[in-house]
Structure 1
Amino acid sequence: MATPNNNREKLRRRPVRQRSFTRDIEHVAAETYLITRLTFTLLQYLGIGYRWITRLLALGCYAMLLMPGFLQVAYVYFFSSKVKRSIVYGDQPRNRLDLYLPVDVSEPKPVLIFVTGGAWIIGYKAWGSLLGLQLAERDIIVACIDYRNFPQGTISDMVNDTCQGISFVVNNIASYGGDPNRIYLMGQSAGAHISACALLEQATRESGKGDSVSWSISQLKAYFGLSGGYNLLDLVDHFNNRGLYRSIFLSIMEGEQSLKKFSPEIKIQDPCIKDSIPLLPPIILFHGTADYSIPSIASEQFADALKKAGAKTDLILYDGKTHTDLFLQDPLRGGKEDLFDQVVAILHSNDSEAIAKDATAPPRRRLVPEILLQLARKISPF
């Protein structure tokens, strides 16, 4: 029989649950309204065009072929206690990040800050979940930063969000088991462009040509750019021909007059920021030679510009690899893979115990049958 005290306790708890449920409903309604409004805004920019429509259809087929792997990754992403989702790092929409933690964080672990791609339009922090989960298995903490996409934000908003996300990680990662002296930054595709812009903006600020800073480039051990584009002037027509129309691309980049400002390859050559160059960490660029979304010449030219400016730079090209091979098909295939092994080796450099564990680590598990991977590669819209 229930006692009066128990009844009072139940009554106290019920309003709390009701308020929580109400807040959840309000949050879902607000997010649904926002996404719907932004979708219609985006469609107004895109108009009716066969290029982007065929790309969208190809994207749907591509995702269906890789769905066996995506579902396995999604299950771990949503249900693993080692994935900390949607940590708030700022006060703007999409100022959230996901953390992927190793099983054992009794010792400080190296940290990789990852900025996902998505053509500046469909980027989302969960796109980095496959990389995050696989690196966490190697005792590396991964922080995947979300940022406002177009039309919710333009390139300035994306760069500002990324800077703020990096600041949060470098100043708070120790409380999650990360080593603040071993933090690395990586961007993929559009994320490589955005993070490179953020890196140069931070270097400019630190050299006394901008606002005060809440983090320092010296806190980053290296920067990895994966399949990125760094000279927007060279890419406008290329993107237009592939369905990212010139008008919408210029809207994302805040007009034609801003293309140079947000082109790291051009900015690095500006004599006005020469004092910022020595502040940059080592920069390592990765690119596939069969990449048709952003041709590998983009990384080659950026590497040349960095070297001429005096920055420490390495360029690693992967023969015959496409835009999605390095980031999706190869990781879903499992086994050994050069890009993954090279990144892990850099993050574990000067850690003999970690290097020894890497040498005996089992190959990564295959998540998708080979025939589906080959079909997805053929119809990939990227």
Structure 2
Amino acid sequence: MTAPNNHREKLRRVSGKNNHRPRPDRQRSFTRDIEHVAAETYLITRLAFTLLQYLGVGYRWITKLLALGCYAMLLMPGFLQVAYCYFFSNKVKRSVVYGDQPRNRLDLYLPADVSKPKPVLVFVTGGAWIIGYKAWGSLLGFQLAERGIIVACIDYRNFPQGTISDMVNDTCQGISFVINNIASYGGDPNRIYLMGQSAGAHISSCALLKQATMESGNGDGVSWSVFQIKAYFGLSGGYNLLNLVDHFHNRGLYRSIFLSIMEGEQSLKKFSPEIKIQDPCIKHSIPLLPRMILFHGTGDYSIPSIASKRFADALKKAGARAELILYDGKTHTDLFLQDPLRGGKEDLFDHIVSIVHSNDSDALLKDATAPPRRRLVPEILLKLAHNISPF
């Protein structure tokens, strides 16, 4: 009887040692993270080559690519920190499926405390309608999550996978998913905000106007309401395509490509919110629109700030609630990248947070006492990036 007992004791000791090994579920989780990193890297690379394929490789684009490479290298210390958090933070729910089309995915950035329902910002990224990608909103997502705001970054089909109609439809479906499902992630479906940046501002404003037009009609097929959007934030957007065709052509997004994205010259008015809201046929839709706040830098050469000014003026003339906030000397990427990477106080970020928390006294108190945001990139690198930015 002694030998079997000794054998069982050895098994117990071996079993005890094995308890210190990584658990299989953790190993599987880490493996999934690595696989996801590889998949995302492949997708980003493919998007870059797709852009090159359509734009060609002439002198103009060689210089822009060189400038872009230097720009990315200067900001790399910040990008790497954000990328690490994006792939390995347990507060990021990546690639949540919201539809059955390719790229119908969204990322959720969750606050540390979701003991009570939190406000939600739905964000549509830019990318010249060709290289838009949900992870471009990760810096904004992490920063707002620190202030108790859930951020949902919507992915959508890019050209040539889809054209502007597909992008608007995907965005509408993504917004619908967030509104109807965010409660299960700790979000408050009664405090939803919508934001778009650059091409994402154009797409999201088209989606908002499309929804308002549907609601003012018979409302068939409506799965969410414009009334559920408390405010719209448009950052560095273009809202009148007729005024931008030649500008984009001169900057390298050639007319033929741009018209293919927008489904032909005859569709430019249809997908120009500034023109659309002046149509008497949809005047009943305008009062349904939420508060519209447009942000733009006066030093923006990718999309001039006059684009937001004209849209704000058109909105006010049509009877919508609209306001324009201009940032002196800020470029197309300053407000969205360099300033957040700089840390500390940031006017655009503080403005958005103050609006989202306007009816929450506890949140406003926490905002007032929140520590300064951490700097991610040295100032000298940020200034160099500002000077060589190709945007």
TM-score normalised according to structure 2 size = 0.88
Residue of 98, 103, 114 corresponding to 2:107:
98
- Structural mapping, 1:247-286, within 5 Å: 247-286=256-295
Aligned to 2:122: 113
- Structural mapping, 1:159-198, within 5 Å: 159-198=168-207
* 91 and 31 in structure 1: CA distance in 2 versus 1, 3 angstrom threshold: farther
Aligned to 1:212: 221
Q: Distance in 1 between matches of 2:255 and 2:347?
A: 35
Q: Deviations over 1:344-381 (max 9, x none)?
A: 00000111000000000001000000010011111111
Q: CA contact under 8 A between 1:38 and 1:151: conserved in structure 2?
A: no
Aligned to 1:10: none
Aligned to 1:371: 380
Give the aligned residue type for 1:201: K
1:333 matched to 2:342 = yes
Q: Distance in 2 between matches of 1:354 and 1:112?
A: 15
Q: Distance in 2 between matches of 1:52 and 1:210?
A: 46
* 84 and 273 in structure 1: CA distance in 2 versus 1, 3 angstrom threshold: same
Aligned to 1:168, the other structure's residue is in SS state helix
Q: Distance in 1 between matches of 2:315 and 2:224?
A: 23
* 44 and 123 in structure 1: CA distance in 2 versus 1, 3 angstrom threshold: closer
Compute the displacement of 1:47 (Å).
Answer: 3.0
* 354 and 32 in structure 1: CA distance in 2 versus 1, 3 angstrom threshold: closer
* 260 and 87 in structure 1: CA distance in 2 versus 1, 3 angstrom threshold: same
Q: CA contact under 8 A between 1:42 and 1:151: conserved in structure 2?
A: no
Residue of 251, 258, 271 corresponding to 1:242:
251
* 367 and 311 in structure 1: CA distance in 2 versus 1, 3 angstrom threshold: same
Aligned positions, number: 369
Q: Deviations over 1:329-348 (max 9, x none)?
A: 00000000111101000000
Give the aligned residue type for 1:128: G
Residue of 134, 153, 156 corresponding to 1:125:
134
Compute the displacement of 1:56 (Å).
Answer: 2.3
1:157 matched to 2:166 = yes
* 351 and 33 in structure 1: CA distance in 2 versus 1, 3 angstrom threshold: closer
- Structure 2, unmatched stretches of 5+, are 1-9, 12-28
* 35 and 317 in structure 1: CA distance in 2 versus 1, 3 angstrom threshold: closer
Q: Distance in 2 between matches of 1:123 and 1:36?
A: 12
* 244 and 210 in structure 1: CA distance in 2 versus 1, 3 angstrom threshold: farther
Aligned to 2:155: 146
Q: CA RMSD in A?
A: 2.7
Aligned to 1:229, the other structure's residue is in SS state coil
Q: Distance in 2 between matches of 1:255 and 1:239?
A: 15
Give the aligned residue type for 1:250: L
* 148 and 103 in structure 1: CA distance in 2 versus 1, 3 angstrom threshold: same
Compute the displacement of 1:31 (Å).
Answer: 9.0
1:313 matched to 2:313 = no
User: Which aligned runs of 4 or more in structure 1 are off by greater than 4 angstroms?
Assistant: 23-44
TM-score normalised according to structure 1 size = 0.90
Compute the displacement of 1:81 (Å).
Answer: 0.6
Give the aligned residue type for 2:226: I
